[in-house]
């Protein structure tokens, strides 16, 4: 019984780690295979668009995984293998967009907005403000106040 529950537990624990990569796709050399896996996690599947080709079960993702492994087995460096696919499908295929003038707004926009907001807040907090303390009551007001308080007690 204990063995069965352990086995079930192991199955559940291992389940989510399963990927779309089929055993027949894998390269025999574990070093090359690890490189291919790392690259394919960074490449977008063009059919599903929000999955990497490593995760996707789409046909085209399968073809691209096989292609990538062929390039790597043929001696391509990581950047050459990625470049091979980028020349065909464009930068869109990269899940992490490259840092270049067209993507500066994307990469640095949030930080720039934060800086602008911080500067604005600092200026707002540090600007001199008129004294907020209330003016002291004059004689007429003090008398009226005493009358009102006196009425409350009476």
Partner 1 sequence: MRRVLFLLPVVLFLVLAGYFALALRPDRDPHELPSAMIDKPAPSFALAGLAGAPGLDRAALAGGVTVVNFFASWCVPCRVEHPLLMGLSAETKVPLYGIAYKDKPEDTARYLAQLGDPYARIGLDQAGRVGIDFGVYGVPETYVIDKDGRIRLRMVGPLTAESVARALRPLIEELNRS
**Helix, strand, or coil here: 76?**
coil
Q: Which of 46, 73, 94, 95 lies at the binding interface for partner 1 (CB under 8 A)?
A: 46
Please report, as residue ranges, which positions from 60 to 119 form the binding site for partner 1 (by CB under 8 A).
60, 63-64, 67, 86-92
Least spacing, CB of residue 88 vs partner 1, in Å: 5
Q: Which of 6, 29, 49, 143 lies at the binding interface for partner 1 (CB under 8 A)?
A: 49
Residue pair 69/36 in contact (Cβ under 8 Å)? The answer is: yes
- Which contacts of 68-76 are long-range, i.e. CB under 8 A and separated by 24 or more positions? 68/36, 68/39, 68/40, 68/43, 69/25, 69/26, 69/27, 69/32, 69/33, 69/36, 72/27, 72/32, 72/35, 72/36, 72/39, 73/27, 73/29, 73/32
Size of the site for partner 1 (CB under 8 A): 15
Q: Which is nearer to partner 1, 2 or 127 (CB)?
A: 127
Q: Which of 47, 99, 137, 149 lies at the binding interface for partner 1 (CB under 8 A)?
A: 47
Least spacing, CB of residue 49 vs partner 1, in Å: 7
Q: Which is nearer to partner 1, 46 or 95 (CB)?
A: 46
Give the residue among 56, 62, 37, 50 at the shortest CA–CA distance from 92. 50
Per CB under 8 A, residues contacting partner 1 are 46-47, 49, 59-60, 63-64, 67, 86-92
């Amino acid at each position: 019984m204990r063995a069965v529950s352990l086995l079930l537990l192991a199955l559940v624990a291992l389940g989510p780690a399963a990927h779309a990569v089929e055993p027949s796709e894998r390269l025999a050399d574990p070093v090359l295979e690890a490189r291919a896996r790392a690259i394919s996690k960074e490449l977008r599947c063009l059919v599903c668009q929000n999955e990497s080709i490593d995760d996707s079960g789409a046909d085209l993702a399968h073809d691209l995984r096989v292609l990538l492994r062929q390039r790597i087995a043929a001696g391509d460096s990581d950047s050459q293998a990625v470049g091979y696919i980028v020349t065909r499908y464009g930068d869109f295929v990269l899940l992490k967009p490259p840092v270049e003038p067209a993507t500066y707004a994307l990469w640095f926009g949030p930080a720039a907005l934060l800086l602008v907001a911080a500067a604005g807040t600092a200026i707002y907090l540090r600007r001199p403000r008129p004294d907020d303390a209330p003016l002291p009551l004059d004689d007429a007001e003090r008398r009226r106040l005493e009358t009102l308080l006196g009425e409350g007690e009476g």
